[in-house]
Amino acid sequence: MAHVKRSRETLRDLSAIVQFIAEDNTSAAERWLAAIEELFTLMAAYPGMGEVVVTRRFGNVRRRSFGAYVIYFRERSYGVLILRVLHGARDQHKLL
């Protein structure tokens, strides 16, 4: 069974996003987190999904959209390592 690992930055990203959504609607924040975790599981099973991009900080990684957010991850023998989850309006180049 494929596994998902999350970087420390990913854990901070997810926490900040959930807190932001929860300011308006706690149940929406819970649903969003459950949905993205489900996508992470799918990505671990099919780590080739998403497009390959080159980042300044991480080099070659994969990117996949999730609503207004962009997930950056790396394929691993065990599944995937989620590197960052960023809102699409943020300066991706600067953060990666």
pLDDT in tens, 41-95: 999 999 899 999 999 999 999 999 999 999 999 999 999 999 999 999 888 888 8
Query: Residue 73 — left, alpha, or beta (φ > 0 → left; ψ -120 to 50 → alpha)?
Result: beta
Q: What is the pTM of this model?
A: 0.93
Which stretches does DSSP call E strand in 2-78? 3-6, 51-55, 59-66, 69-76
Residue 44 to residue 65: CA distance in whole angstroms: 15
Of the candidates 77, 2, 9, 13, which has an alpha carbon nearest to the alpha carbon of residue 40? 2
User: Which residue in the block uniquely carries the two structure tokens 């959209």?
Assistant: 65
Residues 63, 50 contacting (CB under 8 angstroms): yes
Topology (CATH) of 3-95: YaeB-like fold (3.30.2310)
pLDDT of 1 above 80: no
Q: What residues does each domain of the chain span?
A: 3-95
